[in-house]
Structures are given as structure tokens and as C-alpha cells.
Amino acid sequence: MPAEPSAPSTTRRYLMLAAKIGVSIGLLWLLFSRIDAATLWTSARQASLPWMLVAMAVYTANVVASAWRWQLLLNAQGVHLRGRSLLGSVLVALFFNNFLPSNIGGDVIRIRDTVRPAGSKTLAATVVLIDRALGLMGLVLVAAFAATVVGGSHRTAMHIWPVWLWVGFLAMAAASAPALLAPAGFGRLLQPLTVFHPEWVGERIDKLTSVLARFRDRPVALFGCFGGAVFVQASMVVFFFVVTYALHLNVTFWDLAVIVPISFIVQMLPVSLNGFGVREATYAFYFKSIGQPIESAILMSLVGTALVMLFSLSGAAVWFARGHH
């Protein structure tokens, strides 16, 4: 009988997965119906292998930086783990994010790998969530800065983006400030949640408050992690710029610095399978607005994604090695 209550949620999960697959296939079909797929394949085969290897090297630096900023946050909480161990967790998380129909799986891995040394699931989860939040702020900041640099060079509807992006960045900073500057007050705001389970929820709020208080007392870790987040997002722009160079595409660095972060933000919407279709449509829309062919957008997106997925297979090796031991 325990299986009966979970049946509706399982059905709903499969229906949502089917809907995401449908959205991805539909968008990809729409895009490919407007281009010559044979030409796309020919262009991909003419890519420069040495520059593809450079792109992989840039992505490697990106992943190492991701592990480093996570380590900064853990150290601030008194949780000291080797960088090699955290890098392994990041690789496994990357594999799960790319090969499971959800990008939450990777965060679950990271939380699971730090629960025991942290001594608290709330602490481990809070660190990952703050890492995520700082990463999102880094995304928006890079896009806002690049959109400002691009400015009015393109006569498209994109000229409104700098304002909205700066407003979004400042809004996120303002929203997160109270939790970090006044953890006790933030904890009091959460007290009404104890109505659901006074003891259990109350303990989690107390733990969350103490975690935020330690971050407040160690601002260097937060600033360092945010700086690392900006580096990670900027390196992704460099990664795609190298990919476009390898594919002989005529796209400027600053245009990529606008659209690459925006595409990551759009992919966070739970409407597609790992961003497929939505990602390509976002690139295609922007490329068309700056006078570039849709084929270039799809080619860059698919080749870049293929390289990331190829790299993430290293996470599968780490995962199976852990299982072996």
C-alpha cells in the first residue's frame, strides 16, 4: 500500500518529462526546418581541432574554478575538504546535470558529498544554494556589463537589456543582503513556517541562521566566491568564443558575453529537456537580431554543448570509481 500515495506524483513526473521532451523536440524541429542540415554538418566537420582542444582547456579551468569557489564557502563554515575531492564531486554533478533530465541532480550529489563532513544536511544544502545564488548574480553581472559595452551598436530590441539586467542584478543583491547582514532578523521572518512542524522546522531555521551568521562574519569568503562566479561565467563566454573561432563563425566576443549568460538563465526555466531547443532558440533569436544566420547559432550551440557533454563523461568515470571502492 505505500506505493499508492506515490503513484500520482510519479505519473505527474513522467507527464512533466514528456512535456519537456515535447518542447525540446518541437523547438529543434522548428529551427532545423529553417536551415540546411547538410550544410550544418559540413561546417561542423570543417572545425579546427586544435581550437576545439583550446576550448576544452578553457572549460577545464572553468570547472576547477567552480570547485575552488565551493571550497571557499565550505572553509568559511569550518568544513575543510581537499580540493581534489570537491573537484570529483563537481565532475560527477556535471555528469548528472548533462545526462539526467534535470539540473537538480548535480546539486543533490554535491550536498550528499558534503553532508557527513559538514555534520548537517541544512549546512551542506545552504552552502550549495548560496553558491548557486552567487553564480546567478555573476551571470547577470557579466551579461549586464557586456550589454552595456555593446550599447547601441545593434539596432534591435536588445537595447533595453542593459537596463533590465542591471536592475535584476541590483534587485538580487538587495534581496540577499538582509539574510547575510541580519541573519537573526531573517530567521524571525521564517518563524511562521514552524506552524507546519514546530520542532523540525525550528531546528532548520536555527541552523540556517547560524550558517548565515558565519558567512556574515567571513565576508572575504563570499566576495571571493562571487569573484570566482564572475570568472566562471566569463570563462564560459571565452569557451564559446573559442568554439565560434574553431567553427569559423563571425561573432564578436561582446555579443557572446551578452547572449551566453542570458541563454544559461533561460535554460533554468523548467520547460525543456536539459535546455535543448530553448538554448538553440535563444541563440538563434539573438544571432538573427545582430545580422548573423540561424545556422551559426545552432552550430555554435550544438557543438559547444557536445564538448561540454563529452567533458562531463569524466564525471561518470569518477562516479563508477567511487562505486568500485
For the segment 31-57, what is each residue's pLDDT rounded down to a tens digit?
999 988 888 888 888 999 999 999 999
- Given a cut of 80, is residue 9 above it in pLDDT? no
Neighbour count for residue 12 (Cβ, 10 Å): 10
CB of 221 closer than 8 Å to CB of 72: yes
Confidence of residue 8 (pLDDT cuts 50, 70, 90): low
201 pLDDT tier (thresholds 50, 70, 90): confident
Using CB atoms within 10 Å of the CB of residue 43, give its burial: 0 to 12 exposed, 13 to 18 middle, 19+ buried.
Answer: middle
How wide is the angle at C-alpha 269 spanned by C-alphas 303 and 12, nearest 5°?
A: 110
pLDDT at 157 over 60: no
| DSSP output for 73-106 | HHHHTT----HHHHHHHHHHHHHHHHHSS-SHHH
Q: What angle do CA 31, 32, 36 make, to 5 degrees?
A: 130
pLDDT of 260 above 50? yes
Over residues 74-81, mean pLDDT: 94
Q: Does residue 315 contact residue 93 with C-beta atoms inside 8 Å? A: yes
- CA distances (Å), origin 295, targets 7, 179, 274, 291: 43, 45, 21, 12
Grid cell for residue 317: 568515470
Give the confidence band of 100 by pLDDT, cuts at 50, 70, 90: confident
Write a three-state SS string for 230-245: HHHHHHHHHHHHHHHH
| Mean pLDDT across 161-174 | 90
Judging by beta carbons within 10 Å of its beta carbon (0-12, 13-18, 19+), is residue 216 exposed, middle or buried? Answer: middle
Vertex 181, ends 176 and 185: CA angle to 5°? 90
In one-letter notation, the amino acid at residue 63 is V
pLDDT band at 154 (very low <50, low <70, confident <90, very high): low
Assess whether pLDDT exceeds 90 at residue 16: no
Task: Check whether 104 has a pLDDT greater than 80.
Answer: no
3-class DSSP assignment, residue 310: helix
**Predicted local distance difference test score (pLDDT) of residue 103:** 61
